[in-house]
């Protein structure tokens, strides 16, 4: 299962993420922000950023608003050696989302704006640009929110076009979009292989996709994941703080952080600071794991280490090699 091609992340509804941390907050209060940052984001770009943290190159593609495109390029400047930006600039400005993190009460609030970048014209332009970017052997990661339902046919057409170029398709989205992409007749099996190489739902997204209640336990998740293996080669299921499960035709594995954790400290080294972007880092870690090794179980171990590092705030200013040594993960074949 080892992958060797270039990774192309593709976001159709990108955003600017503004993350504000406060030491306790409630309705009606006026609080001073402890820390704040604003960066170009969306799941696809987050995956590229996570790969860059691990020293792995990628191409960041997809839509971006022409009005703030230069601002995005400046913000990504320090990562340009590892992230090659190939965005399709379209009319308009990129949406801005806000996440408020209450560090005292261990809770978050996510405020999401609607993306207005997608249109028939914009998606046709993106399809043309992708033909010059993706080549046989590439891994195309379509991640994040998808355009309104009226554009889902265009999205499936773009994915189908990439698939016919001989690339592996990974999808990290939810709801109607995920169901349409996985089930669509436009993405036919090619040369005996599955339509989609990989999907990464969380537990609730998996329930929505299959239209059934699924218990958040490895056995139930594995049984559910196997129902998709006629359409998808790899089902990577995010379980948040419980770790993750990966299901393939060759087997299934579960993994989570292993107590006692060597990185635990009296200062609370294992405390979850924020879950924002952890799923994106999980997928990036899985891709990194498959570049370094050949089996899904080892890739899941890497994935959980990367997601944990993100949750603990170790991806800011601390090296991947250090996190790799310090964070302990238990993975077992089920």
Domain ranges of the chain: 7-24+33-238
Angle, alpha carbons 37-42-47 (nearest 5°): 95
Which range scores top for mean pLDDT: 162-166, 192-196, 218-222? 218-222
pLDDT tens readout for residues 54-109: 999 999 999 999 999 999 999 999 998 999 999 999 999 999 999 998 989 988 89
For residue 294, what pLDDT is reported? 81
For residue 326, what pLDDT is reported? 87
The stretch 157-165 carries a mean pLDDT of 93
pTM score, whole prediction = 0.91
Tell me the pLDDT band of 317, cut-offs 50, 70 and 90. confident
For residue 185, what pLDDT is reported? 56
- With 0-12 / 13-18 / 19 or more C-beta atoms within 10 angstroms meaning exposed / middle / buried, residue 143 is buried
pLDDT tens readout for residues 238-265: 999 899 999 999 999 999 988 633 334 4
For residue 112, what pLDDT is reported? 92
Distances (CA, A) of 205 to 48, 122, 142, 177, 311: 22, 28, 16, 11, 20
User: Among residues of the chain, what percentage have pLDDT more than 90?
Assistant: 79
* Structure tokens, 134: 């993706």
- 106 against 156, higher pLDDT: 156
- Residue identified by tokens 């806000």 is 98
For residue 269, what pLDDT is reported? 47
CATH number of 7-24+33-238: 3.40.1190.20
pLDDT tens readout for residues 184-215: 754 454 444 558 999 999 999 999 999 999 99
- 137 against 294, higher pLDDT: 137
Residue 150, pLDDT above cutoff 60: yes
Averaged pLDDT of the chain: 91
């Amino acid at each position: 299962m080892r992958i060797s091609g270039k990774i192309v992340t593709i976001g159709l509804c990108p955003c600017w993420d503004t993350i504000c941390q406060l030491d306790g907050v409630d309705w009606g209060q006026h609080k001073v922000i402890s820390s704040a940052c604003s960066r170009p984001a969306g799941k696809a770009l987050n995956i590229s950023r996570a790969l860059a943290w691990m020293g792995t190159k990628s191409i960041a593609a997809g839509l971006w608003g022409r009005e703030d495109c230069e601002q995005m390029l400046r913000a990504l400047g320090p990562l340009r050696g590892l992230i090659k930006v190939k965005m399709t600039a379209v009319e308009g400005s990129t949406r801005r989302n806000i996440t408020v993190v209450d560090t005292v009460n261990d809770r978050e609030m996510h405020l999401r704006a609607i993306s207005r970048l997608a249109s028939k014209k914009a998606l046709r332009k993106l399809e043309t640009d992708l033909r010059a970017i993706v080549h046989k052997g590439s891994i195309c990661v379509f991640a994040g929110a998808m355009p309104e339902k009226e554009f889902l046919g265009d999205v499936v057409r773009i994915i189908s076009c990439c698939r016919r170029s001989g690339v592996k398709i990974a999808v990290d989205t939810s709801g109607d979009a995920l169901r349409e992409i996985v089930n669509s007749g436009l993405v036919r099996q090619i040369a005996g292989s599955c339509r989609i190489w990989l999907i990464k739902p969380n537990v609730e997204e998996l329930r929505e996709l299959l239209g059934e209640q699924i218990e958040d336990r490895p056995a139930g998740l594995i049984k559910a994941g196997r129902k998709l293996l006629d359409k998808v080669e790899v089902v990577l299921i995010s379980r948040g703080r419980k770790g993750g499960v990966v299901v393939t035709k060759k087997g299934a594995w579960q993994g989570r952080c292993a107590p006692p954790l060597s990185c635990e400290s009296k200062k609370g080294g294992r405390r979850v600071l924020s879950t924002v972007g952890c799923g994106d880092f999980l997928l990036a870690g899985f891709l990194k794991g498959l570049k370094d090794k050949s089996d899904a179980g080892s890739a899941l171990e890497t994935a959980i280490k990367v997601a944990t590092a993100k949750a603990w705030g170790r991806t800011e200013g601390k090296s991947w090699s250090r996190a790799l040594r310090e964070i302990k993960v238990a993975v077992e074949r089920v």
